[in-house]
Amino acid sequence: MRFDLLVRGGTVIDGTGGPARRADVGVDGDTIAFVGEATADATAGRELDARGRVVTPGFIDLHSHADFTLEVFPAAPGALHQGVTTLVTGNCGQSPFPSGHRTGTDTVPTGVGYPDFAAYAAHLERAEPAVNLAALVGHGSLRATVIGSAQRAATGAEIDAMRTLLAEAARQGVFGLSTGLIYAPGSYADADEIVALAKVAREHGLLYATHMRDEGDGLLDSITEALDTARRSGVRLQISHLKAVGPANHGKVGDALELIERARAEGVDVATDVYPYTASSTRLTARLPTWAMDGGPDALLERLADPAARARIADDVRARFGRTLLPDGIVIAALPEGPYRDRTGESIARIAADEGVDPAEAMLRVLESHRALVFIVDHSMHEDDVELALAHPGSAVASDGWDLDTSAGGHPHPRHYGTFARALSYYTRELAAFGLPDAIRKMTSLPADRLGLTDRGRLTEGRAADLVVFDPATVTDNATYAAPLAYASGIDHVLVNGRPALLDGTPTGLRPGRVLRHP
């Protein structure tokens, strides 16, 4: 009995939610070759001592925004220190492809992109990432390619053109379609447009993941819209980062889950993903009225220069304060050079107080001074809602984060560095919101099954050798809101496609990740 690599003496949690068991794991090449009790004379090119440790499948981040950052930080230390071996990108309607005739969107700048998934995949493979990537294609990118930033419903011919692009992406290996219905240009789409595309996704066996139109006052209506899309199209539905935003909506997650459960009872294939934090992170422009972003960032800046339009935007923002927005909860995370560059980590309320203006005006000043390119951390959720959503059997753990290392700077959301470790430490070990086997299921087989990723997500013979070895008693997220630039700890070893990307808690420098393709 000889293997390329043998993980000996660990407690295997296989990702199915089943009980832990003592087992050794043998790896040949990029494949799990053996799970069981290895003989005493079994040998391997490398042996890892897993006594006192848990051995699991590699974690799959079902909702990532590493589309561009993975090529900047291909060593992916933020992911590896959490045990993440596969990042799923193209979420919230945003993907780097197709670029076509793109004129720029609220979230992807002009001139950034690739003509199709094949070109993007080839580019990323040249970067040799340390972890795997599975991509969705963004509806916003499809729409911008076909009709630019037009602020209207698509025509039948335009929908057909988007359907053609989606089918091409499916043939090239994307795993799904995503929408970002809160962001332009996706926000201009009507239900029929989304259903037409969802039908193509269903025909190709793809997932449909949606950042819904409204996660605050309109949460339940948005859940209903997403479920109706699934009913009308038959697509497999993933509700992205389920949450209830703003004090006026705290407690609505239970109602949202009831709607989801009713739909599941009807036969709708629907699940959710959740990040284990009470703050979100997005562009500050997402906290403006939708009409203010019509035409994109440049049009917003023109409105801010017009006194009447500026006053109207400010009045709308003020009306949201205390309901879905909290001035002391909106914290500057990152922005380009400009007068507020040194205010990262500070709230809009603090900036307003320092400048002697109201918070709405402070928001507009920050946006105007940095050409609307401002990222925030938004403290707007309630812990009870987060725990309820995360504990639901149909909820996967996902970061909604970027692939970063700690040199990235700024004051980002801690989820970039701590999501999976926090789910294991705070929600599993401390709160006991779910047991360890179920926590692992939420990070492995559940996201794999949602994607249709058949060769990963379970620790069984014949599957890809993406493995994590960690100490359940010490795994910890060290990134906090106050000090977010910190890697997780307690993850000992990470194998990606059979090769050690992390050993003894330290990245090895090997970059064995792959761009995965839907069969």
Q: Which CATH number covers residue 7?
A: 2.30.40.10
Rounded Cα distance, 102 and 111, in Å: 8
Cα–Cα distance, 453 to 31 (Å, whole number):
15
| 8-state DSSP, 341 | G
> pLDDT tens digits for 364-416?
999 999 999 999 999 999 999 999 999 999 999 999 999 999 998 899 999 99
Please report whether residue 481 resides in a domain: no
In the chain, the amino acid numbered 215 is E
364 and 395 co-located in one domain = no
**Which uninterrupted H or E stretch holds 379?**
strand 375-379
- Residue 362 counted as domain residue: yes
Question: Looking at the structure, do residues 131 and 8 belong to the same domain, yes or no?
Answer: no
Rounded Cα gap, residues 208 and 174, in angstroms? 11
Residues in the chain: 519
Percent of the chain with pLDDT over 90: 93
Q: How far apart are CA 494 and CA 514, in angstroms?
A: 15
Question: Is position 515 within any domain?
Answer: no
Q: Is residue 518 domain-resident?
A: no
Q: Is 350 helix (H, G, I), strand (E, B) or coil?
A: helix
**Do 365 and 490 sit in the same domain of this protein?**
no
Tell me if 329 is assigned to some domain.
yes
Relative to beta strand 2-12, strand 54-57 is parallel
Q: Beta 330-334 vs 375-379: how paired, if at all?
A: antiparallel
* Residue 476, token pair as written in the block: 């910890």
**Residue 107 pLDDT class (50, 70, 90 cuts):** very low
Instruction: Answer for the pair 88, 241: CB distance below 8 angstroms, yes or no.
Output: no
- The whole-angstrom distance between residue 164's C-alpha and the CA centroid of its chain comes to 26
What pLDDT is stored for residue 332 in this prediction? 97
- The confidence score (pLDDT) of residue 112 equals 62
Closest CA to 281 of 227, 371, 211: 211
The dihedral formed by the CA atoms of 305, 308, 313 and 316, expressed in degrees to the nearest 10: 170
The answer to whether residues 354 and 435 belong to one domain is no
Q: Show the tokens assigned to 350.
A: 């603090």
Q: Which residue has the tokens 């109201």?
A: 358
Same domain for 198 and 327, yes or no, is: no
Note whether 110 and 183 are same-domain residues: yes
For residues 109 and 149, give the distance between their C-alpha atoms in angstroms, rounded to a whole number: 12
Q: Residue 29's domain spans which residues?
A: 2-56+461-476+486-507
Q: How far apart are CA 162 and CA 258, in angstroms?
A: 33
Same domain, 65 and 192: yes
Mean pLDDT across 40-53: 95
- Helices and strands in the chain, H and E counts: 16, 20
Tell me the per-residue pLDDT of 430-471, one tens digit each, with 9 for 90 and over.
Answer: 999 999 999 999 999 999 999 999 999 999 999 999 999 999
Task: Provide the domain count of the chain.
Answer: 3
Confidence of residue 150 (pLDDT cuts 50, 70, 90): confident
Residue 427 has what DSSP assignment?
I
The chain-wide mean pLDDT, for the chain, equals 96
The DSSP-derived string for 140-202 is HHHHHHHHTT--SPPPHHHHHHHHHHHHHHHHHT--EEEEETTSTTGGG--HHHHHHHHHHHH
Kindly list the distances between the CA atom of residue 370 and the CA atoms of 179, 363, 470, in Å, as whole numbers in the listed order. 27, 11, 42
